[in-house]
Amino acid sequence: MLKDGIFRVREGFYTKTIAYEDINYSVASREDQSAIFDGWCGSLNYFDSALPFQLSFINHRSKNVCIL
């Protein structure tokens, strides 16, 4: 496990799991929308364009917590 939470599965293959809460972008303030969009862009731009990577989304409807 690396300091930034990335886990080395095997040589050349890494994984990281994150959890997030549901938001309603359409009713968020302009400032919140900008922060959400900037965070998403930052996540995508984290990866070098020469490296292949895959995003997988697992959505669960839950009354308490959504863990991915």
Q: How many domains does the chain have?
A: 1
**Two tokens, residue 21:** 């809460």
Give the pLDDT score at 40: 83
Q: Domain of 4? A: 1-68
Give the pLDDT score at 22: 65
C-alpha distances in angstroms, 13 versus 7, 42, 49? Answer: 9, 21, 16
Per-residue pLDDT band at 61 (split at 50, 70, 90): low
Report whether pLDDT(66) > 70: no
pLDDT tens per residue across span 8-44: 888 888 888 777 666 677 788 999 889 988 988 888 8
Per DSSP, the residues of 10-45 read ETTEEE---------GGGS-HHHHHHHHHHHHHHHH
Q: Is the pTM value of this prediction over 0.85?
A: no
Q: HSE-up of 53 (CA within 13 Å, CB side)? A: 13
